Amino acid sequence: MISSFPAEFCVFVLGIILLLADSFFEKIDKRILAYIAISWLGIFLVAVCFIPLSPLWPVPFGFYETDDLARVFKGFALVATILTLILSLEYAPVVERLIPGSRPGAGLSEYFILPVFTCAGLMWMASAADFVMIFCALELVTISFYIQVAYTRRSMASLEAGTKYLILGALSTGFLVYGITWIYGMTGQTALGGISFVLGNVPVASQTALLFGIGLVLVALGFKVAAAPFQFWVPDVYQGAPTPTTAFLSTASKAAGFVVLMRVIEPFLVAPAIGAKLISALSLLAGLTLIYGNLAALPQTNLKRLLGYSSIAHAGYLLIGVASVGSPFSGRAVVFYLLGYLLMTFLAFLVLIPVAKAAGGDDISHFNGLARRSPSLAFFLLISMLSLAGLPFTVGFLGKFFIFEAAIQQQHLVLVALGIITVACGFYYYLKVVRAMYWQAPPEDAAPIEVSALTRFVAAFLTAAILILGVYPAPLLRLLP
Amino acid sequence: MSPLLPLILLPIVGAAFILIGASARLTALVASATSLLFSLVLLASYQFGGDQPYQFVHSWPIIPAMGISLTLGADGLSLVMLLLTSLVTLAAVAVARTPEKSPHWFYASLLFISAGGLGAFASIDLFFFYMFHELALIPTFLLIGIWGSGDRQAAAWKATIYLALGSFVLLLGLIGLYLIQPDGMRTFDLRAIIGLADAGFLPEANWVYLLLLVGFGILVSLFPFHTWAPQAYASAPAPAAMLHAGVLKKFGLYGLIRIAAPIFPDTVLNGFVAIPMPFGCHPVEIDLANLLLIMLIGNILYVGYVTTAQRKLDLMLGYSSVMHMGYIFLGFAAMNALSLTGASLLLFAHGLSIAALFALSGEIRERTGTLDFAELGGLAKPMPAFGLLFGFAAFAAIGLPGFVGFAGEILVFFGAFVGGDLLMGVTATGKEIFQLNNFQVATVCAAWGVVISALYMLRAYRRIFFGPLSDRWAGLPEISGPARFAIAALIVVMLVTGFFPGLLIKLIESASI
């Protein structure tokens, strides 16, 4: 019986083995690698659910957390990676077309293996409780994303996205390191537990400097979670990146950013003077993000770009939850929201890839008449859009409900009012997709839509999960800290 | 196991069968007829005089930590609303004409709206009460957008965004209602919240009532939040307009009567909300009762006169359905037993009469392709039975004695006239003065509203059915088949309950309002 489970280590080793396998068995169909990765990640997922986590190595003053939050997010990262690999399988023909290679399938293998390394980084990030660890894990994730975003190198959009992501990512890394040094300079600690321990002794005179450091860290994390005004990379990168990478980026990377955010602000709330300023800064970010994300999403005509803006909008709702940190439900609300967001975003991308392949583009107009061309795909996308909009009987509604509940409890009334108005905006732009599918007639020369059985099954599964958890969320809530 | 669960699931299962591929119209007819029978059986097995007004109660815990559970149960008022829902659903399905474009989605959407209404009226838990109502939002969007007429896309957008906004305002109100309960006792169970309110555990929370009023108000098209409704009803296919105007719009008023009346009785009558002003100015105090009175008079008089100015039947009916909400709001605002009973009766009466009118208007559009008064005229000559039915429905909408609407309006007017602090009469110095309080002024205005509605209804009746008959309309077919039967049934129910309103009043009085 295994008493504990070094989860990210196993994932990392899996990635190395897959790389080796790729070099030793040149002739095999590279898709096999993806299937192997999916099945092993599935096994790890079961293990994370049932076996207690173990730290990577025993340390006295925790820079590695193994609490429920870490566990849930390791599971989250695994699920997101599995779904990304399934998307990648569906997307593989496009990747093959867009990268130069001497033989068919060349370069495909890394596209399946890189997400595994990202996954290891994400899982590490979920446990990181020390600024140095947070930094290392974040870099592992970000660097593997740099490659994935620019992976289809014959597509100009992908290259442009890669460059933008690289430059802005590097910039935000700079902010993060600089902020960490300021915090270290004022407290002499990099461990989050240590910071909360010594925070009471920090003299009032150096609190400004400490706040400056926290501010810089917030800016860096703002880049990661795509909070306004640090969101400007999002639309171009999301639209240009290969679609599975977009899905991965908008869920797992964002979720990891939020976990780190929740971990990082926790020690500083001990000092009321700093905590109050931190919460007002977060509220400001939340308000700006809500307004920007929702208003900018209104006129979009490209579904991938729309989903990019919608991911900014959802970051706004999540930030409301983070800003309501005093409420007993707020942490749970944020995590629940993220889990729901994962389900509905991947569902949208699962439908988007085959439709875009058949229609030759991912504009909303390419979805015209989908209800008559493929009723089941249209229904899946309908549920995904309704859940993103926050309609009852979907998991998206309960997420918003918990967030608003926490926010009202913490008297963030302005944020709640903003949230309500922007929800109405959301109905408009998500229903635009529904309108295209159900109101409009399909084009005359529409090509038939081919969907693999695996994609169809996973999409049906996600749809069922969204609807069931929307009525009966108890199983998910029981998992949460 | 509560018999209410199968009642709610019946239309959903029907819709699922239709989407899988069962015969659309037949399945919808069977499902809605069964649910009508089911609600009649429930009505017959309701026991009066028990110590618990809510019967058929069953509760399934959903989120125990937050006091959320799927609790179904029905008292007299819920049963009246359930009966209304299943009756209007059957009528709507019966008069529906199977469209050429995706008939399966058409009938499934109708059944989903019906399920939303049934679920909302059968829920004791406020969380699910809210959720079920939202079930109808997307089907309405699809129904207007795909099968509507005129400027259907703009109408569908406007209605959907408006309703989504209203329901999120309402959600805030419900969350507020949850959070003002003492920690540890918080629940969404309506019975428990009323218990807490009666025991004095709830603090004064006027802003919660204001949120509920605005949220429900948007859903019921309370003036000045009514602009989504007329256009949407005019553009919607007839069955969708019947279901939405007849049943779903009643959800908001039902909610106010159910939630606000027992929990915030003092706030409704005497509450103030202070709105803080910037730059150190004095906060503006708003008297909630007067605010509601002004808004409902806006419904009755302003929208009433707008209705008289309409040149097309569908828009006129849309505005008239907005206007008639004013009477029901008046019954709620006065907050006494008479007026609340009257308001509840009006919920039922207006649901039936507007459903019948929208059905007839849809039939006219099917035959002539236009609803413009200027183009129609003399239709009673080729279609005497159609004219008779329309006459009955129009008189029922006005509130002619003999129809259940009359009983409701009379009760509301009597109740509202004695509402508020009595100012009328003789003062201490012996000088006789004649003063009316706010409620009495509102009642006088509302009574004038009856004249307005008689004016536009009779004018519409005259312009469509009397006068010279244009040759274009000489050969119009008479109303027949299921549509004739369904509309006649609605009118018969209105007549029977109009002559014997005691049947309904007995049920409503047994409810815990």
Please enumerate residues of A whose Cβ is less than 8 A from a Cβ of B.
371-372, 382, 386, 389-393, 397, 401, 404-405, 408-409, 416, 420-421, 423-424, 427-428, 431, 434-435, 438-439, 471-474, 477
**DSSP code string of A289-316:** HHHHHHHHHTT--BHHHHHHHHHHHHHH
Q: Select from A371, A393, A473 the Cβ nearest to the Cβ of B135.
A: A393
| Each residue's pLDDT tens digit, A281-294 | 999 999 999 999 99
| Residue at token pair 């583009």 | A361
Contacts 24+ apart (CB under 8 A), B51-59: B53/B510, B53/B511, B53/B512, B54/B124, B54/B191, B54/B512, B56/B2, B56/B3, B56/B4, B57/B2, B57/B124, B58/B1, B58/B2, B58/B4, B58/B5, B59/B125
Q: Select from A391, A420, A438 the Cβ nearest to the Cβ of B172.
A: A420
| Residue A3 pLDDT exceeds 50 | no
Q: Which of B161, B175, B186 to mutate to test the interface with A (most CBs of A within 10 A)?
A: B175
CA-to-CA distance for B259 and B216, rounded, in angstroms? 11
- The residue in chain B having the minimum alpha-carbon distance to the alpha carbon of residue A476 is B63
Measured between CB atoms, does B137 come within 8 Å of chain A?
Answer: yes
| A-contacting residues in B 1-60 (Cβ below 8 Å) | none
Pair B417, B440: CB distance under 8 Å:
yes
Q: Which of B18, B171, B218 to mutate to test the interface with A (most CBs of A within 10 A)?
A: B171
| Residue A60 pLDDT exceeds 60 | no
Q: Which is nearest to B498 in space by CA: B419, B415, B430, B403?
A: B403
Token couple for B383: 């279609």
pLDDT of residue A1: 33
Q: Which of B66, B102, B133, B172 to mutate to test the interface with A (most CBs of A within 10 A)?
A: B172
Q: How far is A322 from chain B (nearest CA, A)?
A: 19
CA-to-CA distance for A200 and A186, rounded, in angstroms? 12
Q: Which of A381, A398, A438 to mutate to test the interface with B (most CBs of B within 10 A)?
A: A438
Of the listed ranges A123-132, A432-441, B277-286, B379-388, the least confidently predicted one is B277-286
Interior angle at CA B91, CA B400 and CA B109, nearest 5: 130
Measured between CB atoms, does B63 come within 8 Å of chain A?
Answer: yes
H-helix or E-strand spanning residue B68: strand B68-74
| Each residue's pLDDT tens digit, A217-248 | 999 999 988 888 888 889 889 988 999 999 99
Q: List CB contacts (< 8 A) between B168 and chain A.
A: 390, 420, 423-424
A130 φ, ψ (degrees, to nearest 5): -145, 140
| Each residue's pLDDT tens digit, A22-34 | 888 877 788 888 8
Token couple for B350: 């207006």
CA-to-CA distance for B228 and B141, rounded, in angstroms? 12
Q: How many CB pairs under 8 A join A and B?
A: 76
Residue A38 φ/ψ region, left for φ over 0, alpha for ψ in the -120 to 50 degree band, beta for the rest: alpha
Q: How far is B180 from chain A (nearest CA, A)?
A: 10
Q: List CB contacts (< 8 A) between A395 and chain B.
A: none
- B172 to A472: CB separation less than 8 angstroms, yes or no: no
- A372 to B102: CB separation less than 8 angstroms, yes or no: yes
CA-to-CA distance for B476 and B367, rounded, in angstroms? 7
Average pLDDT over residues A432-460: 85
Pair A218, A283: CB distance under 8 Å:
no
Q: Which is nearest to B231 in space by CA: B296, B317, B138?
A: B317
Measured between CB atoms, does B485 come within 8 Å of chain A?
Answer: no
- Tell how strand B284-287 and strand B55-63 pair up: unpaired
| Residue A201 pLDDT exceeds 80 | no
- Single pTM value for the model: 0.89
Pair B475, B387: CB distance under 8 Å:
no
Q: List CB contacts (< 8 A) between A409 and chain B.
A: 179
| Each residue's pLDDT tens digit, B29-82 | 999 999 999 999 988 888 877 677 788 888 888 888 888 888 898 888 899 999
Could you list the pLDDT tens digit for every one of the 513 residues in chain B?
Answer: 788 888 999 999 999 998 888 788 889 899 999 999 999 998 888 887 767 778 888 888 888 888 888 889 888 889 999 999 999 999 999 998 888 888 888 999 999 999 999 999 999 999 999 999 988 888 888 888 888 887 888 888 888 888 889 998 999 999 999 988 888 888 898 888 888 888 888 888 888 899 999 999 999 999 889 998 899 998 899 999 999 999 998 999 999 999 988 888 888 888 888 877 777 778 888 888 888 999 999 999 999 999 999 999 999 999 999 999 999 999 999 888 888 999 999 999 999 999 999 999 998 988 888 888 888 888 888 888 888 999 999 999 998 888 998 999 999 999 888 876 655 555 556 555 566 778 888 888 899 999 999 999 999 999 988 888 888 888 888 887 888 889 999 999 999 999 998 888 888 887 765
pLDDT of residue B81: 92
- Name the average pLDDT for chain B: 87
- A420 to B161: CB separation less than 8 angstroms, yes or no: no
Q: List CB contacts (< 8 A) between B169 and chain A.
A: 420
Q: How confident is the model at residue A129 (pLDDT cuts 50, 70, 90)?
A: confident
Measured between CB atoms, does B182 come within 8 Å of chain A?
Answer: no
Radius of gyration of chain B (CA): 22
Q: Which of A329, A420, A471 to mutate to test the interface with B (most CBs of B within 10 A)?
A: A420
Measured between CB atoms, does B165 come within 8 Å of chain A?
Answer: yes
**DSSP code string of A275-287:** HHHHHHHHHHHHH
List C-alpha distances in Å: B123 to A66, A247, B127: 42, 38, 9
pLDDT over 90 percentage in chain A: 39
pLDDT of residue A105: 62
Average pLDDT over residues A139-154: 89
Q: List CB contacts (< 8 A) between B137 and chain A.
A: 391
Radius of gyration of chain A (CA): 22
Q: Which is nearest to A247 in space by CA: A435, A459, A479?
A: A459
Q: How far apart are the first and last CA of chain B?
A: 25
Token couple for A477: 């809530």
Q: Which is nearest to A42 in space by CA: A70, A3, A14, A2?
A: A14
Determine what percent of chain A falls in helix, strand and coil, rounding each to the nearest 5: 75, 0, 20
- Contacts of A444 by beta carbon, 8 Å cutoff, 6+ apart: none
Number of Cβ atoms within 10 Å of the Cβ of B445: 18
- Name the average pLDDT for chain A: 87
- B63 to A409: CB separation less than 8 angstroms, yes or no: no
List C-alpha distances in Å: B84 to A451, B285, B297, B354: 45, 40, 26, 12
Handedness of CA B378, B383, B388, B390 (dihedral sign): negative
CA-to-CA distance for B42 and B34, rounded, in angstroms? 12
| A-contacting residues in B 101-120 (Cβ below 8 Å) | 102, 105
pLDDT over 70 percentage in chain A: 95
Determine what percent of chain B falls in helix, strand and coil, rounding each to the nearest 5: 70, 5, 25
Name the packing angle between helices A207-225 and A272-297 (round to 10°): 30
Q: Select from A372, A386, A420 the Cβ nearest to the Cβ of B169.
A: A420
Pair A241, A77: CB distance under 8 Å:
no
B72 φ, ψ (degrees, to nearest 5): -105, 145
Q: Select from B135, B146, B172 the Cβ nearest to the Cβ of A404.
A: B172
Measured between CB atoms, does B273 come within 8 Å of chain A?
Answer: no
| Residue A5 pLDDT exceeds 70 | no
CA-to-CA distance for A107 and A123, rounded, in angstroms? 26
Q: Which is nearest to B110 in space by CA: B246, B296, B308?
A: B246
- Tell how strand B272-275 and strand B68-74 pair up: unpaired
ipTM, interface predicted TM-score of the complex: 0.86
Q: Select from A372, A424, A439 the Cβ nearest to the Cβ of B164.
A: A424
